[in-house]
Amino acid sequence: MVYAVAAYLHFVAIFLLFALLVLEHQLFRLPLNFKRARSLFRVDLAFGIAAGLVLVTGAARAMRYGKGLDYYLNNSFFHAKIGVFVLVALLSIYPTVTFLRWRPALKAGEVPAISAASARGVKLVIRIELAALLVLPLLAVMMARGYGVLPR
């Protein structure tokens, strides 16, 4: 039963992570207004929290409630999955830093200034993150089916 709950929480965290990134993509368009800018700031914060939940629930599954840490550490698809997750985490730094720069303007009740070039960059990074997140379920399925087992 605990295994099922751990898996469920991991899946919910993954769905939440993806949904928040889709929402961020939809909210981020020019011209920016105060309400959307504030929402983007909050959604990005929630995205970071969801990423942490994915990491914690995934670690719990790998170490305690899954097939055992040895299984995962000896699987190339697991390593690829972690690599893609780290890539998404690193890519997410750019939008987060952009939104954090808006904080003083938002506190003052003003619309943050952003150039068209910077906006295109943020939008592109979010799209790359979304595409990378779509690869994760394929890697997970391959791993769960026993593909990618490394020789000992």
Sequence spans of domains, the chain? 2-144
CA 37 to CA 120: how far, in whole Å?
Answer: 15
d(CA 148, CA 115): 44
| 69 vs 134, more confident | 134
Whole-model pTM?
0.91
For 86-114, what is each residue's pLDDT tens digit?
A: 999 999 999 999 999 999 999 999 999 99
Q: What's the mean pLDDT in 130-141?
A: 95
**What is the model's pLDDT at position 71?**
87
Burial of 142 per CB tally in 10 Å (0-12, 13-18, 19+): middle
- Sequence-ordered strand ranges (E) for the chain: none
User: Is the distance from CB of 57 to CB of 13 less than 8 angstroms?
Assistant: yes
Tens of pLDDT along 39-66? 999 999 999 999 999 999 999 988 888 7
pLDDT category, 142, cuts 50, 70, 90? Answer: very high
What is the rounded distance in angstroms from the CA atom of residue 81 to the CA atom of residue 42?
27
